[in-house]
Structure 1
Amino acid sequence: MSIQVSPANLEFSKPVSSAAQARATYLTKLLDLAQSTVTETSELQALRDHAALRVQEQTFPSTRDEEWRFTDLSDLLAVELAAAERSAVTPDAIARFVLPDTARLVFVNGFYAPELSDLGALPARLTVGNLSSASDQQLQTYLGQQSGAEEVFTALNTAGLSDAGFVFAAKNLVVDRPIHLLFVSTASQPVLIQPRCLVVAEPNSSLTVIEDHISLGESVYFTNSVAEIWLADNAQITHTRIQRDSQSAFHIGKTAVSQARSSRYIGTAVSFGARLSRHNLNIYQTGEQTETVLNGLTVLKGEQVGDTHSSIALSKPYGTSRQVHKCIIDDRAHGIFNGKVFVPKAAQLTDAGQLNRTLLLSPKARVDTKPQLEIVADNVKCTHGATVGQLETDELFYLQSRGIDASSARKLLVYAFAYEILSQIPLESLRQTLTSQL
């Protein structure tokens, strides 16, 4: 019997490009660095091993990927990174970042620093500390269990997981004192830093959390952070995320929020620093009648790149979400906003609104904005929109006609644009600090 083979029946493997090979090699090096920081074998080992497998199955993102087409990580590929190490930091070095009237949990280069933390006078049923403060049952239930844990940078963080900030509010507990999670970078050479935090609010509990990423220098480093937030039935969390890294740094952050029935999540994200930053914000609704409020502000200058990717999955009926994200872009900086809202057929009577507003302060400034609604349900109220503009000459002229010089008038209008977001920050001292920085 003879077999005829036509060209159409032949399968040829496509050659791997040098760029793709370079990305694969770099991702392997990142995984090796992440795993090198783990020095002990514990109950977390199975979680780490599973995450490492997820990393090995994926590729390092490029602009050919739809989710990354506006964000080019080529500059990061050129950085030779080392593993982060413990570093001694004095209280005076972080004094300007300390927020009064808060409980403070400090991590330096991803390592817990109890000598810099202040956890006094907390309610008895509130747990604040590192992972050693959590029970095995709590870790098995919550740590690394959010949807989207297989995403490449999230899995990379989990593969090197050795410690994390841990906040647990017991049932029916209302915590009045804000909890400040301060993640400090002291890198003097290019290193990989992987902060992590886990926040859990049990039924009918309420708390305020401030996640703050800062730098004590201006060196190059790569921060890959993950925050997992769980809200049980009728719980409320007010979460403020501040990113003010070195202007030479790279920062990729993930916030994953799970909301059970009648829970309320109020999130405010403010980004100032980093040469390139990206915040992936994912909201997962697991029960009816949830309320989600998202406020965002990205301030860019020079040649910075700032990317916000949000995804709100409203899978149950009677959910409400409101999102307002603002960008202020100067010089040759580049802002990106991609906001998705998913409303499947089961999520009837959903009310969702999304708005992105951008202020361009320079002719060279650039923004790519893409608000998205994917709606299958037929009884909903959903809106989205985007605006891009510059400072109004009429408004500048009016302020100058009242005796305000041109520079002050410009600053006043920029502040007025940002105030809608900054005013949502619950702590007055932090609002003043960010206003001064703006």
Structure 2
Amino acid sequence: MSIQVSPSAIPNSDAVSLVSSLLDRDAYLTQLLNQVAVSQADGLEELRQQAANWVRHSTIPTTREEEWRFTDLSDLRGVEFRKAQPVDNVAALNITSLTDNRLVFVNGVYAPELSAVNLPDGIVVGNLTGLAVAGDRIHKYLAQAEGALEVFTALNTAGLTDAAVVWVGKNVVVDTPIHLLFISVAGETATISQPRCLVVAETGSQVTLVEEYTNHRDTEGAEGNSYFTNAVTEVWVGENAAVNHTRVEREDAEAFHVGKTAVNQARYSRYTCNAFTLGAKLSRHNLEILQTGEQTETTLNGLAMISGKQVADTHSAIALNYPYGKSEQLHKCIVGDRAHAVFNGKVFVPKPAQLTDAAQLNRNLLLSSKARVDTKPQLEITADNVKCAHGATVSQLEDDEIFYLQSRGIDEHAARNLLINGFAAEIINKVPLASLRDILLNTVTSFKSLTND
């Protein structure tokens, strides 16, 4: 997108100010762009410049926009973020590794001291700047997914310096899960970091990934400081390939988290995403699936568990453009205190996508009379030979269920926890990694927001 203005068409005194206003429509967004701007010769200059130009023509979304009408970014705009700086003593950080193969990034910077990779031939795992495979192979996919011009995605691309890269070769099956860990270290001022992931699974390959976002407080003075994680992940699933992807967001209570997961599925491919939203003051996950060939399988499972005054927003879009596609989506929210959950799931089935089988369900459990959920499952179908269904439920813990458990000798508090655990376990049990399942189940068990008015 470009806007051209002829200076001769306007008075000289107004030329500079008018052009400036057209290029920088949102002063706050421009300030963020200036913080993350990068100037280095690495072959990505044109890509970054195009993204930066788009950001300068854009604005921070408001509740007047349909896609953001339930999620107010006023609190985000009220914080002046500075670019997160590299951490001096990275090796001193205590991390919990879920697997033997991991890539660790701290404030968006690759941390080789904390990373460990021991994988068979045919798979390349590393950071963008350190891989010999970089160049045309990676640049063919990097920032090429649909939705690249969404404002936060473009902001990430404008500041792109490094990325976690997982490249699985043709017909390679990786049995060991790969852990991509992104740690935000809050400092003495509010900071912004922009993690990036690129996953390419070539024809006939299979891989399991765990993408995790967490935090570490650097100093006592950092307590209470906000930080902003603006993350983008691109997944390219080749013909007859399979990717099992688990995404866990458990940021600090004062954090802001905006994440994009953009997935391209070639014909006969299989993609599964298990997404968990557990932390952050405000979190938003945009999950976008584009079918680029027939007979794909897409499975989306999600769990948001929030309390206090947290806001958790999940927006998903599945574009089934070819015949014989199959998609299943189950998203659950557990909402306590004054927290606010949002779900908007779209499934597009145009006329060429005959014999599509798509199902979508959003289930919500409110633990407080002041908890809130806004849900909007959507099907847009123009094909005439399909099997599609969608629905949503909003409920509270039933008194008769609690009474039944109490009649079996279980006290009221334990009964409530048991029902909450059962509600969440349906999603957690789909996670392929046992150690992560245990962590998530313990998180549910320790959830304290029980009908707090």
TM over 0.5: yes
- In the other structure, the counterpart of 1:220 is 226
Q: Which amino acid aligns with 1:271?
A: T
- In the other structure, the counterpart of 1:108 is 106
For residue 140 of structure 1, report the CA deviation from its aligned partner.
2.1
After TM superposition, the runs of 4+ consecutive aligned structure 1 residues lying more than 6 A away are none
Q: Judging changes above 3 Å, is the alpha-carbon distance between structure 1 residues 88 and 406 closer, same or farther for their aligned structure 2 residues?
A: farther
- In the other structure, the counterpart of 2:9 is none
- In the other structure, the counterpart of 1:156 is 155
Render the CA deviation track for 1:111-158: whole Å, top value 9, x for unaligned: 0001100112x1111100000313212222100000110100000000
Q: 1:125 aligns with which of 99, 117, 122?
A: 122
> What's the secondary structure of 2:286's corresponding residue?
strand
The alignment's C-alpha RMSD in Å is: 1.5
Q: Percent identity?
A: 59
- Equivalent residues in 2 for 1:233-248 (5 A)? 233-248=239-254
Q: Distance in 1 between matches of 2:375 and 2:340?
A: 11
Q: Distance in 1 between matches of 2:226 and 2:85?
A: 15
Q: Distance in 2 between matches of 1:88 and 1:138?
A: 33
Q: 2:290 aligns with which of 271, 284, 299?
A: 284
- Equivalent residues in 2 for 1:166-181 (5 A)? 166-181=165-180
Q: Which amino acid aligns with 1:128?
A: V
Q: Kindly indicate whether the alpha-carbon contact (under 8 Å) linking 2:24 and 2:56 is maintained by their aligned counterparts in 1.
A: no
Q: Distance in 1 between matches of 2:49 and 2:283?
A: 27
Give structure 2 stretches of 5+ with no counterpart. 1-22, 218-222, 445-453
For residue 90 of structure 1, report the CA deviation from its aligned partner.
4.8
Q: Judging changes above 3 Å, is the alpha-carbon distance between structure 1 residues 22 and 124 closer, same or farther for their aligned structure 2 residues?
A: closer
Q: Distance in 1 between matches of 2:315 and 2:384?
A: 26
Q: Distance in 2 between matches of 1:244 and 1:22?
A: 33
For residue 102 of structure 1, report the CA deviation from its aligned partner.
3.3
Render the CA deviation track for 1:20-44: whole Å, top value 9, x for unaligned: x998110101111110xx3522101
Q: Distance in 2 between matches of 1:90 and 1:113?
A: 7
- Equivalent residues in 2 for 1:197-208 (5 A)? 197-208=197-208
- In the other structure, the counterpart of 2:48 is 48
Q: Kindly indicate whether the alpha-carbon contact (under 8 Å) linking 1:23 and 1:77 is maintained by their aligned counterparts in 2.
A: no
Q: 2:409 aligns with which of 385, 400, 403?
A: 403
- In the other structure, the counterpart of 1:3 is none
Q: Distance in 1 between matches of 2:292 and 2:143?
A: 17
Q: Judging changes above 3 Å, is the alpha-carbon distance between structure 1 residues 410 and 318 closer, same or farther for their aligned structure 2 residues?
A: same
Render the CA deviation track for 1:16-65: whole Å, top value 9, x for unaligned: xxxxx998110101111110xx3522101111011111111211100001
Q: 2:355 aligns with which of 333, 337, 349?
A: 349
Q: 1:362 aligns with which of 357, 368, 393?
A: 368
For residue 400 of structure 1, report the CA deviation from its aligned partner.
1.0
- In the other structure, the counterpart of 2:344 is 338
Q: 1:303 aligns with which of 279, 290, 309?
A: 309
Q: Which amino acid aligns with 2:236?
A: W
Q: Which amino acid aligns with 1:181?
A: L
Render the CA deviation track for 1:79-108: whole Å, top value 9, x for unaligned: 01101110135556333x211x43110000
Q: Which amino acid aligns with 1:182?
A: L
For residue 437 of structure 1, report the CA deviation from its aligned partner.
1.1
Q: Distance in 2 between matches of 1:22 and 1:244?
A: 33
Q: 1:24 aligns with which of 20, 23, 26?
A: 26
Q: Judging changes above 3 Å, is the alpha-carbon distance between structure 1 residues 89 and 379 closer, same or farther for their aligned structure 2 residues?
A: farther
- In the other structure, the counterpart of 2:145 is 146
> What's the secondary structure of 1:47's corresponding residue?
helix
> What's the secondary structure of 2:26's corresponding residue?
helix
Give structure 1 stretches of 5+ with no counterpart. 1-20
> What's the secondary structure of 1:116's corresponding residue?
coil
Q: Kindly indicate whether the alpha-carbon contact (under 8 Å) linking 1:23 and 1:60 is maintained by their aligned counterparts in 2.
A: no
